């Protein structure tokens, strides 16, 4: 019996050590508040997108073009958001910024926002199906779409600088609001973000 215990004991100890080692080396996942600002790499992230979209829409709605349109047409202007162009060498999910801009406009309540080209294709497919399968009283008609009065066009550019392990990342988002009738720019603005990444001597 003692001999058996002597043989089994090292095996049990080894198994326990392996279990402890395996647990300590595993990946740890921590859930955080989605509103918390977290910068790991210094690259463009969700916080940047939300800050930039809120700032830009705030600038746009603070200028007189909305009141000018209301006075002339007697209705809210309708805006379409063009895909934001990424002119940087960094991969940026610009669809998130476009969606954030749309939400800021819609929730602000001062303008109407129409669907993007891709979204309109989906809606038109559904409308085509209704022509065949929906009842006459609920079927939606062709040729009733709302045309946008203005298009918001934007692009992201960046400049980087680095020295002794410290990197400076500078992003600038330029936007223009264009009248779709005559191509005039009724508003132009920009928002910028600057970050210092690394262990250099820089102190804010």
Which helix H or strand E contains 108, and what residues bound it? helix 94-108
Residues with Cβ < 8 Å from 131, sequence gap 6 or more?
A: 139, 142
**Segments forming the whole domain that contains residue 191:** 44-198
Mean pLDDT computed over 73-83 = 96
Q: Is residue 150 part of a domain?
A: yes
Residue 16 lies in a domain: no
Say what the pTM is.
0.76
Residue 25 lies in a domain: no
Q: Considering the domain boundaries, does residue 12 fall inside one?
A: no
C-alpha pair distances (Å), 29 with each of 26, 32, 131: 10, 10, 49
Query: Is 74 domain-assigned?
Result: yes
The count of domains in the chain is: 1
Classify residue 141: in a domain, yes or no: yes
| Domain assignment present for 144 | yes
**Does residue 99 lie within any of the structural domains?**
yes
pLDDT tens sequence across 4-32: 555 565 556 666 655 555 555 567 877 76
Reported as a pLDDT band with limits 50, 70 and 90, residue 202 is very low
Residue 109's CATH number: 3.40.50
């Amino acid at each position: 019996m003692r001999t058996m215990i002597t043989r089994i004991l090292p095996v049990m100890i080894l198994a326990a050590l392996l279990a402890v080692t395996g647990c300590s080396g595993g990946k740890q996942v921590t859930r955080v508040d989605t509103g918390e600002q977290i910068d790991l790499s210094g690259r463009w992230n969700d916080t940047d997108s939300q800050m930039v979209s809120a700032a830009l829409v705030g600038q746009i709605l603070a200028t007189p073009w909305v009141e000018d349109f209301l006075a002339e047409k007697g209705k809210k202007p309708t805006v379409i958001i063009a895909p934001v162009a990424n002119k940087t060498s960094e991969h940026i999910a610009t669809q998130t910024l476009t969606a954030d801009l749309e939400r800021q406009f819609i929730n602000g309540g001062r303008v109407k926002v129409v669907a993007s080209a891709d979204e309109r294709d989906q809606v038109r497919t559904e409308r085509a199906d209704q022509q065949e399968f929906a009842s006459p009283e609920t079927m939606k008609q062709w040729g009733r779409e709302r045309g946008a009065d203005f298009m918001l066009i934007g692009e992201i550019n960046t400049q980087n600088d680095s020295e002794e392990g410290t990197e400076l990342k500078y992003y600038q988002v330029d936007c223009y609001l264009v009248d779709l009738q005559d191509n005039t720019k009724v508003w132009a603005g920009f928002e910028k973000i600057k970050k210092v990444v690394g262990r250099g001597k820089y102190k804010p």
